Amino acid sequence: MTTTATPTVLTGSPALPPLLARGALLSPFKRPRPDADFPRTRLVLPGLRVDPARLAAYERVCGFPTGDDALPVTYPHVLGFPLAMRLMSGRAFPLPLLGLVHTSIEITRHTRLTTADAYELAVHVEGLAPHRRGTEAAVVTEARIAGDVVWESRSTYLARHRTPGRAEAGESPGSPDPLPPLADWRLGADIGRRYGAASGDRNPIHLHPLTARLFGFPRPIAHGMWTVARCLAEHGTPDAVAVRAGFRAPVLLPGTVTYAARGERFELRGGDRRHVTGTVRPL
């Protein structure tokens, strides 16, 4: 669903540190609930060029091959992240930025994307919804070349809070059987900091044990977008593709996880616990 608000056109990508600081300062004053109002602003950033050095850093930490002019399927999310942060760190956004957890993403890439192109990015908040552990916001990002949508995504972010009357849910009885394991990955304690430096996402739940404990995690957790990017780097994707991924349980750092896949399906798990489940479908 596209917002009908008049677009706000930006002349440059917003600086992330001031946005994160503003979001942190405002977080204690927000009381999330699924029926709250949310900003109808649609932020637009035209003429964006990819920085090859930042792209290479991202590719290295996520396991994508370097030296190619093609963008990884997840990279436009990084390009649009400052716009999303501008919306989610503002007073009009009802969920506290601190502790916000990325719970799912749907990506559609319509064609091969390269570093040679100039992109117009647009981001808006689609809406809020109740979740068994709090309130979820859906954020839509689009990338255009010469007016045509070439990439789009829909992410959901969870603000955890008490939800009277909503039962906790585990894995459903109808969950698919585990996929065959293909690789074990040992994850260092610095993965969150490395990905944060490459992507700009420096949510404190990913960075250090102390800041993670402030939000209920015993150790830092890996970024959801790092886990899905790492899986897709291993799986591979065609130029025109639809990706769906759900972040089911946090990956504690340091730790060991197993990548598993068969056909269009992939997952990341620790023991019998699924951390990420997803599909890769050619268009």
Q: What is the pTM of this model?
A: 0.91
pLDDT at residue number 165: 61
**pLDDT 10s digits, 133-152:** 899 999 999 999 999 999 99
Q: 42 versus 101: which is more confidently predicted?
A: 42
Cis check for the bond before 82: say yes or no (omega within 30 of 0): no
Task: Judge contact between 157 and 88, C-beta under 8 A.
Answer: yes
The Cα diameter of the chain in Å comes to 52
Residue that the structure tokens 């290295």 belong to? 60
Cβ distance 155 to 102 under 8 Å?
A: yes
Confidence band for 216, pLDDT divided at 50, 70 and 90: confident
Q: Give the bridge partners for 181, in sequence order.
A: 260
Q: Helix, strand, or coil here: 172?
A: coil
pLDDT at 170: 41
Confidence of residue 172 (pLDDT cuts 50, 70, 90): very low
> What's the token pair of residue 199?
């992507």
pLDDT of residue 253: 97
In this prediction, residue 5 carries a pLDDT of 64
